[in-house]
Amino acid sequence: MRDDARGFFAELWKSGDGDKKFGQIEQLNMSRSKKGVLRGMHLQHTEPMGKVMTVISGKAILAAVCCNPEDKRFREVIQMEADSNNPTMFYADAGWARGFLALEDNTCVVYACTGRYTGSGEIAINPFSVPGLQWPVMEFIVSEKDQIAPSFQEHWIKEWHKDTVDWKNVR
């Protein structure tokens, strides 16, 4: 990152360097959220995708949990606080559910996805049910879909999707 009197410049992506880690970018999304908006946790079982997230304005907690029972990191949670003053790339591979909590109004998060979104293939996990995922105490704004989503335990410990996901081919 280069910082000067005008502001800063940050190189967020360069073809070749990250291709091995991130794969081919198939879709680029952006969301803007009010303070307290909690989006996620989501992943796809059809066209599984990795996702790179970065905060371009505001501040957020970015989070992911490994949902692939064939991965040694199964149930591992990663989360970090990110803001527009310190551009950070947060990557979670296919097989990880991702989400974020906006800590300020007008928080914009950009997502670069290694697959294409398919609504019928999306899995939503209640964001308050993931063991080890710590959200700060505050008023949350959560979509109805995420509020009524099954818990992590209902999805994975009971192997709810065992027969619907070919985990050996998730990359």
Q: Can you tell me the distance from the alpha carbon of 99 to that of 144, in angstroms, rounded to the nearest whole number?
A: 15
- Is residue 10 a part of any domain in this protein? no
The total domain count for the chain is 1
- Reduced to 3 states (helix: H, G, I; strand: E, B; else coil), residue 103 is coil
Residue pLDDT, tens place only, 99-124? 999 999 999 999 999 888 888 888 89
Question: 89 or 14: which carries more pLDDT confidence?
Answer: 89
Beta strand pairing call for 122-124 and 37-44: antiparallel
Average pLDDT on 157-167 reads 51
Rounded-to-10 torsion of CA 71, 30, 128, 91: 30
Asked whether residue 1 is assigned to any structural domain, the reply reads no
Domain of residue 107 covers 23-153
55 or 157: whose pLDDT is higher?
A: 55
Whether residue 67 lies inside any domain: the answer is yes
Kindly report the CATH number assigned to the domain that includes residue 144: 2.60.120.10
The tens digit of pLDDT for each residue in 20-64 reads 556 678 889 999 999 999 998 999 877 888 899 999 999 999 999
In a domain, 77, yes or no: yes
Mean pLDDT within 123-150: 94
The token pair at 29 is: 């999304």
Rounded to whole angstroms, the Cα distance separating 54 from 108 reads 9
Angle (CA) 123 127 133, round 5°: 120
What is the model's pTM? 0.84
